[in-house]
Structure 1
Amino acid sequence: MDLTELVAREAARTGFAGVVRVDRAGATELSLAFGLADRRHGLAMTPDSQVAMASGSKGMTALAVMSLVEDGTLALTTTARSLLGADLPLVADDVTVEHLLAHRSGIGDYVDEDADTPISAYAMTVPVHELATTEQFLAVLDGFPTKFRAGERFAYCNGGFVVLALLAERASGVPFHDLVRDRVCAPAGLVDTDFLRSDALPGRAALGYVEQDGAWRTNVFHLPVLGSGDGGMYTTGADVHRFWTALFAGRIVGTDTVASMVAPRSDVPQEGRRYGLGFWLHPTRDVAQLEGYDAGVSFRSLHDPADGLTVTVVGTTSDAAWPLLRALERELIG
């Protein structure tokens, strides 16, 4: 089936609102947008809309950290405690940068993926407008007991990537958001990718929506006003393609570093995937993935460097992207 026909049919069936893009071997095979970017004002989504990445941002955090490892500011063996000082006393003394990058730190998580909390819940324990800098996240990261010994096993941990942002910021003396802009976005040529405040979104940014009491409402009260190491970036389909191209060309960090980041560190059978350092990985093939799921966001982008294939689907609700992704992955990845 023609890709455009496949995507259009699935988008119509599910009422999808978001952006879909497929690139292969340097050519754009598909770049489509569906639904509304702003439901209140009836503004249509376009292929150039800036869309939220949620946890897809973790790959950017990992690359900023690994660029500091490359220049000697950090090491994979650097302990969190060496930079945290007296902060977050429940983080074990032997937790390292590598443990955090691989989701093998064992630290307690401020957003527990295993908890039976609906995605529509107001999960933040402090007013969201008070979460605008990485240091301000200390107020929500503290107080969660260790789950297991560092290195023992994989457990996805949002808070671990905020801790990474904090370590990077303290080690370098540069605000975390600027580190990502300077060390990831700039060398990759990402012109439309940035951390954006939810209460000051630019005109091209699509709003995320959560169903509450039978009505669709924006996610502005569900998430930090400005994200940190575990989420909060916005991007475009074109920029995601630029990102993957730059990453595997060694323009963000060196190719040896990229290879180490996309080498499997954990099998994650419950997800049907593997995990490296900041990147999900296909269960059997050398296909790297970034994924985000949050209130008002569903995002996944995958890249197969062997044939230059990039598939990106972003939806403006928590479940919008997944049916389309499954259809495209069956067609293109198998």
Structure 2
Amino acid sequence: MSKLIQYVDKVANDIQFSGTIHVKSSEGITTKSYGYSNRAERIKNQTNTRYGIASGCKIFTSIAICQLIDAGKLSFDTTLNQCLDVDFPYFDENITIHHLLTHTSGVPDYFDEDEMDDYEELWVSIPMYHIRSLKDFLPLFKNMKMKAEVGSSFSYNNAGYILLGLIVEKVSGYVFDDYIQKYIFQKAGMEDSGYFEMDGLPERTAFGYIEKPNGDWKTNIYSLPVKSASDGGAYVTARDMALFWDALMNNLLLSDDMTDQFLKRRIHVDDDIYYGYAGYMQVMENKTIKHILMGYDPGVNFRFVHYPATSSTIVVCSNKSEGAYEILKKIEDVLV
């Protein structure tokens, strides 16, 4: 691993990377941190620093839904209007759990990446400090018309995962983040992970940083909803994400049969990239080469890959808007 770290150190220095890497392969396990969790106080990132991972945590929502299906409380064919007592005047009545999980529901998104380039723009007219529960997101999209036909091609959608989180709350009787804490984080041994509020972050949590045009830095406290949600924003350590994947692969979170279903490809995205209940995956010659999780928010950059053939896992968490991909690629170049 020493050779790997030498290569990573060079890239990290070149791009001024800030964050933590965690690598597990046949050569062993290594974790290393770079940069600062608090730039003003010059507090360095540590191996146990917690980072926001943006959409990287959609997989937790997906697992929660599959756990409820495992328990016989839902099915992949259960429709949205069978789950929620919310009026969606323009939504297709045929939208199912499967459609929501695979981004093929066609529902409108509260942040449409085809129309908005910058997530920060969303909160210019909507106070982000009011978004503290899943139901607070509903006015942002529930009265909008469908973006596409239900069951149409893949179109990445955050609102669909807000709906899935609301379904978890309705069916389980738990507040969403309490459910995830009990049935995923605790089962996986993810002791440092949680759905936190940005104005009340616990110890060892990195501030997210955005570079300003003049080269100075600002935190992302005014750029994101104050409370992490079912479509993104949970905080984890890099090591916790590796523990999470181990728990998933060892059938600690889902039944054996459901784990198999969870890891299958479902929807073609582009070239050799597919999407399934477990997120993105690269498939070649009908074989899954790697599973891919990623997340981006202003001041947040997250990348994760797992190679089934070698049981290798790479986690890169960053508290800047960029850098995780470059670090991941260098690690892959050395290991794969």
Q: AA paired with 1:51?
A: Y
Provide the residue aligned with 2:10 in structure 1.
9
Aligned partners of 1:248 and 1:255 also within 8 Å? no
Confirm or deny: 8 A CA contact 1:301 1:311 kept in the other structure.
Answer: yes
Please list, as runs of the form range in 1=range in 2, the aligned pairs for 1:200-219 lying within 5 A after superposition: 200-214=200-214, 215-219=216-220
Residue of structure 2 equivalent to 1:302: 305
- Aligned partner (choices 281, 299, 322) of residue 325 of structure 2: 322
Q: Does 1:196 align with 2:196?
A: yes
Indicate conservation of the 8 Å contact 2:19/2:34, yes or no. Answer: yes
Instruction: Give, as a single letter, the amino acid of the residue that structure 2 aligns with 1:230.
Output: D
* Cross-structure match for 1:260: 261
| 2:281 corresponds to | 281
Letter in 2 for 1:106: G
User: What's 2:78 paired with?
Assistant: 78
Preserved contact between residue 111 and residue 123 of structure 1 (Cα < 8 Å): no
Alignment check: 8 A CA contact 2:120 2:224 kept:
no
Per-residue deviation, 1:139? 2.3
Structure 2 residue matching 1:282: 3-state secondary structure? strand
Cα shift at 1:132: 1.1
For residues 92 and 125 of structure 2, what CA distance do their matches in structure 1 show? 23
Q: Which amino acid aligns with 2:322?
A: D
The match for 1:55 is 55
Q: What percent of counterpart residues are identical?
A: 30
What is the TM-score normalised by the length of structure 1? 0.94
Aligned counterpart, 2:246: 245
Please say if residues 181 and 194 of structure 1, whose CA atoms lie closer than 8 Å, have aligned partners that are also in contact. yes
Distance 1:227 1:70, change over 3 A: same
Aligned to 1:32: 32
Query: Matches of 2:313 and 2:3 in 1, distance apart?
Result: 17
**How many Å apart are 1:137 and its aligned residue?**
1.6
Report the Cα offset of residue 142 of structure 1. Answer: 2.4
- Aligned residue for 2:201, secondary structure, equals coil
Measured on the aligned residues, the alpha-carbon RMSD in Å equals 1.8
How many equivalent pairs are there?
A: 331
CA shift in 2, pair 1:290/1:258, >3 Å:
same
**Where does structure 1 lack aligned partners over 5 or more consecutive residues?**
none
Preserved CA contact (<8 Å) 1:101 1:278: no
Q: How far 1:134 moved relative to its partner?
A: 1.2
Aligned partner of residue 292 in structure 2, secondary structure? strand
| In structure 2, distance between residues paired with 1:325 and 1:191 | 25
| CA distance 1:310–1:10, change in 2 (3 Å) | same
Q: TM-score, normalised by structure 2?
A: 0.93
Q: Distance in 1 between matches of 2:202 and 2:113?
A: 30
Give the AA of the match of 2:53. Answer: M
Encode CA deviations 1:98-135: one digit per residue, 9 max, x unaligned.
10001111111111122242355454652112111112
Moved more, 314-323 or 17-26: 17-26
Q: Residue 293 in 1 paired to residue 331 in 2? A: no
Q: In the alignment, which residue of structure 2 is the partner of 1:67?
A: 67
Aligned partners of 2:119 and 2:223 also within 8 Å: no
Matched with 2:134 is: 134
Q: Would the aligned equivalents of 1:88 and 1:138 in 2 still touch at CA under 8 Å? A: no
Deviating more after overlay: 111-120 vs 202-211: 111-120
Asked if the contact 1:248–1:305 (Cα under 8 Å) also holds between the matched residues in 2, the reply is no
Please list the CA deviations of residues 22-56 of structure 1 after superposition, one character each: whole Å capped at 9, or x if unmatched.
Answer: 0124931x211000011111110111100111101
Q: Which residue of 2 aligns with 1:235?
A: 236
- CA–CA distance in structure 1, aligned partners of residues 91 and 134 of structure 2: 17
Using a 3 Å threshold, how does the CA distance of structure 1 residues 86 and 4 change in structure 2: closer, same or farther?
closer
Partners of 1:139 and 1:120 lie apart in 2 by: 18
Question: Secondary structure of the residue that 2:10 maps to in structure 1?
Answer: helix
Corresponding position: 1:43 with 2:43: yes
